[in-house]
Amino acid sequence: MTNPRSYPQPAVELAAFVDDYLYGCSPVAGCGVCTALSAELSEARKANDHGTAYDTAAEIRNHPHPAKTKP
């Protein structure tokens, strides 16, 4: 390395990892509740309302859906 860094690495990767851990979820396409919660989640994140964002992501993760039967 010809130009050694004299400051710590930016925490961007860690922040992204933590964000995904806290707020990662997979809203189900076509599910009205998931769609509404997903909108609520992005609003809360925009507003830096981390508590609401976390709760909303958890709701999406825990939203029950009937198992799809394979054709």
Contact with Zn ion (CB under 5 A) among 22, 28, 36, 58:
28
Number of H helices, E strands in the chain: 3, 0
Q: Does 22 bind Zn ion (CB under 5 A)?
A: no
Q: Is 63 in the site for Zn ion (CB under 5 A)?
A: yes
17 vs 65 by CB, closer to Zn ion = 65
Give the tokens for residue 43: 């609003």
41 contributes a contact to Zn ion by CB under 5 A: no
Identify whether the C-beta of residue 15 lies closer than 8 Å to the C-beta of residue 50. Answer: no
Q: Which is nearer to Zn ion, 22 or 31 (CB)?
A: 31
- The Cα 30–Cα 6 span in angstroms is 50
